[in-house]
Structure formats: C-alpha cells, structure tokens
Amino acid sequence: MAPTGEQHLLSTEIVNRGTEPSGCISFSVRVRRRLPDFLQSVNLKYVKLGYRYLINHGVFLAAVPVLVLVFGAEVGRFIREELWPKLWDTTAGYDLVFVLVTVAVFIFTLSYYLFSTPRSIYLIDFACFKPDDDLKVTKEEFIELARKSGKFDEASLEFQKKILESSGIGDETYVPKTIGLPENISTMKEGRAEASMVIFGALDELFEKTGIQPKDVGVLVVNCSVFNPTPSISAMIINHYKMRGDILSFNLGGMGCSAGVIAVDLARDMLQANANNVAVVVSTEIVGYNWYPGRDRSMLIPNCFFRMGCSALLLSNRRRDYRRAKYRLEHIVRTHKGGNDSSFRSVYQEEDPQRFKGLKISKDLVEIGGDAIKTNITTLGPLVLPFSEQLLFFSTLIKRYLSGTIKHEHGVTTPGNSSEQLPSPSSSSSTKPYIPDYKLAFEHFCIHAASKTVVNELQRNLGLSDANMEASRATLHRFGNTSSSSIWYELAYMEAKGAVKRGDRVWQLTFGSGFKCNSAVWKSVRLMEKPSANNPWLDCIDRYPTEAFSHSSQV
C-alpha cells in the first residue's frame, strides 16, 4: 500500500497480554487519536520561508508592470510635449535617436515581462475510475475474504475487524477479489492486471471527456508507490495507447499518498519548459499486489484502509485552452522531512519475521505527520491568506516570540527532541496563538481521506467546519483510502454537488511516507453547472452527507 499519511490515521501500539486460559492469544490496541496542535508552537523559519517564496515569485512580476507604466508615461510625455508640437513646426528638428531608444526600451521591457511571466497551467478535466459492482465489498465481506484466504489467524482477523469499525469506511468500497485466494497474489501478473484495469479505465474516460487523442499528449507522469514493474507503468500506458515516440514520460515510485501533488508539480515544470503542450498525470495504488498476508498488526493496518482507485487529469499550457479549462493552477508547496531519521522510517517497507513484505508503521507517526503538515501550512499561509489574517497571525507570532513563549529554531524539529517549545499553561493564557482562518483563503478543501481520525484532527486543528470536511469524509466512506488519487475523488464529489463556482479556490492537502506533506491550490475558471456523465458519484450523491457525518467530528 502506498506509504502515506493514512498511517496517521492511527498510530497504533500493539500490546500482547499473553495467552488466555482458552489458549487464545489476547491483545489490546492503544490508538493515539490526536495530532499535535499545529499552531501552539510555530517554527519561525517556515514563516520566513513562506514570505521568501512570496517575494521571489511576486516582487519581480509586481515591479515590471510599474516599469512599463513609467516608460509608457515617459513616451506619452515626450509625444505630447516634444514630438507632437514639432510635427507642426517643419523648421524645428527633434532627436530621432532619443525617440527610437525610448520606444526600444519600452518594447524590450514589455517583451521581457511577457516572456518572464510563467505560463498559466490549466486543468482541462479529470477522471476518477469507478470499479465494477462485482468488486464492491462490505466490511463484513472484507473480513470473510480475509478469512477465506487462510492467511490470518482469528486474532489477526479480530484486529482487522476492530480497525474497520472505527475507520470511517463504508460498505461500498472496492477490492480485488483475489485477496480471498489462498495462494500468493503479490505477483507481477496480478499487479499488471489490476493496474491495467484501473489505469486504462481512468484514461479511457479522460480521453473521451476531453477529446484529446493519446498521440497529442506531450508529457506523461505516473505515480504508483509500491508496484513498480519493468518496463514501468508509464511505458505500459505508452504501449497500450501507442503514444508518440518523443513523449516526455516519468514514473514516480515509493512516494506515498502525497505523490499526486508531486506528479502535478513535475508536469507543471515540464509544461513550463515545453510550450504549446498538454500533459497527462495518472495517480493510483495497486491493492492486491500490496496485500500483506502476515500477522504483524502494525503491518495489517494498510490492508484495512486501502481500496482500489485511480485518477487521470489533463493539464495544458496552451492559452487557447483557457475557455474549456476547469481550473488554473495557482500554487504548489512541498515539504519533505526525510532528512530526519525518525521521519524517514516512520512508514517503512520491510519484511516481518515470516519474510512477508509490509509497511512498518512507527509509533511516532502521529507526531511526525503533524510536524510535516504544520510546516507545510505555515509556508503556504503567506501565499494564500488575506493580508488581514497575515497581519493578525504575524503580530501574534512576534509577540509570543518576544515573550519567550516560542523559540526560534535553526535546526530540524524531531519528535521528542524539539527546540520548538510548547507554551506553558501560564504563558499560553497570556499570549494565546492566533489561528489563521483558512476559510477566508479557500472555498473548498480536499484533504487526503486517510481515516476518520485524521480528518477529525485536521478539522480541529485548522478550525474548519463539517461542510469543509464533507468531501473528505464522503470519499473515505464511499471509496475508502485510494491513496494519492483520493483528493480527486473529493473534487469530483464537490462537482457532483454543484458546489464549485467560477472564481472559487480549492486547496488540496496530501501527506505520506518520507515523511512528506504537499499542497496544491487551484482556482476555478468557469462555472460547472452540472457534473460530467462519468462522475463516479452520480449514482449515490443524493445519499451524502450521511447521518453518520453529524457525529464524525467527535473524536
């Protein structure tokens, strides 16, 4: 399963209580259900990083139009005061060289501005794969498939059942039925078969919706975390659709649930370097190939959460595509904590004592994930928050810094060894941190649907409403954790509800192994009056939000 933040979902500790008189091994599960409060302690260097990012990307583009206006005004003054009167005075001469130099400087400045401005990246459309109904399972059927495989003892089955009960996952998610087979299903043959089904299903729908021919695609980026065959998945797509020979193709592996935004970032860079082009980004995870058949309970958690899914999106840098595009890419902010050993090993693929491969989940994952998310949103804030919110947040931050409530950190923060001190009860009461209202920056939130616990905790930390988290909860309930594609199922949910209006801003927040946290900000460029015919939510959108959501924020 994609190494990811769903393992935030639960930081689980397994305690073996020995053997009961009946001979059954008993165990208990302790779950850490709270992420750290992001804004009780804020790292000043990441605030500075956000403002540095804003300055680097904004000051030049803001200054060049001023220069253009200055030169324009100078040319206008010269024409009005010097050139125009002298045109009527045939006996007077004027400095033709000065006129030509002024016009040349003006044209050069304007051209430099136009060529230096990054090309806008448009999201033409996207598709989310919806498997056939014969792959749909309830939670009870899931446990029965696991029991039928004969790979788990009763203790392991009972553990998975308890996890599912508190997962936030509903009874209509999709899994390959091969997980119920007694033989080994983690084979290349099974992996390629599942990859072909979900990826080609999503791409067929994308090409149909956009009218783009596969041979027109100039850039292809695919991300799938654990299943990485040779030839690569990107080569498999090129072969299937007979794409052109000069296509720029990339295959991202081992990057977890946050890889969807990373893939978009790479596609954006490729489009910036290659004018008049379109790019396809495919995000997926292969469930059957990553099925863990062992008994290590920390490795059984991904089995409970991951479900089949795939997204495919079409990006363009062609200005003529603005009229038919849905969204324009505004910002991408990426955070990587892999320089720290604890973060690097927080979600770690390895073999258990029985030599079965699985994802080992660190007991410190909640703290590590919270730190990465806090860093990312702190850097993102200066780019998206209104000036009033930035002023309140920054003034409160400086006040707390000067009072010694928080300390300036130059190193790397690690759980259990942080120079970023939490405030004492007395200090926090006098200098309470100001939490920016991100609802003023965005109309819609697509937060990775890792688990009910993670969604609840992010809602609490960011001060979001149930309506803001509705798409995440609905996606988790209906489709489960589909890894890097989950944020696109969430956006499809919003479109099915008719919630996205022209000018609305969408924040996609993802997190996963490494440990990484990434944000993408999109702006809607047209009104979407009704969802597309292939929207995966059309047959069930009227059932959401469910009644269970009214209690979902209770942790």
Of 487, 228, 180, which Cα lies nearest the Cα of 349? Answer: 228
Residue 57 is among the residues annotated as catalytic for this protein? no
Q: What is the DSSP string of 143-202?
A: HHHHHHHT-S-HHHHHHHHHHHHTS---S-EE--GGGG-SS---SHHHHHHHHHHHHHHH
Residue 24 is among the residues annotated as catalytic for this protein? no
Residue 410 is among the residues annotated as catalytic for this protein? no
Distance of CA 123 to CAs 104, 127, 439, 446, Å?
37, 11, 23, 16
Q: Is-contact 337 513, C-beta < 8 A? A: no
The active-site residue, picked from 448, 468, 517, 518, is 448
The active-site residue, picked from 444, 446, 456, 518, is 444
Using DSSP bridges, classify how beta strands 347-351 and 357-361 pair: parallel, antiparallel or unpaired: antiparallel
Taking the CB of residue 338, how many other CB atoms lie within 10 A of it? 14
Residue 444 is among the residues annotated as catalytic for this protein? yes
Provide CB contacts within 8 A for 210, sequence distance 6+.
124, 125, 314
The active-site residue, picked from 257, 310, 446, 517, is 257
The active-site residue, picked from 481, 517, 518, 535, is 481
DSSP 8-state assignment for residue 409 = -
Of 342, 217, 373, 347, which Cα lies nearest the Cα of 290? Answer: 347
Provide CB contacts within 8 A for 205, sequence distance 6+.
127, 129, 312, 534
The active-site residue, picked from 477, 517, 518, 535, is 477
Residue 481 is among the residues annotated as catalytic for this protein? yes
Catalytically active residues, by annotation:
257, 336, 444, 448, 477, 481
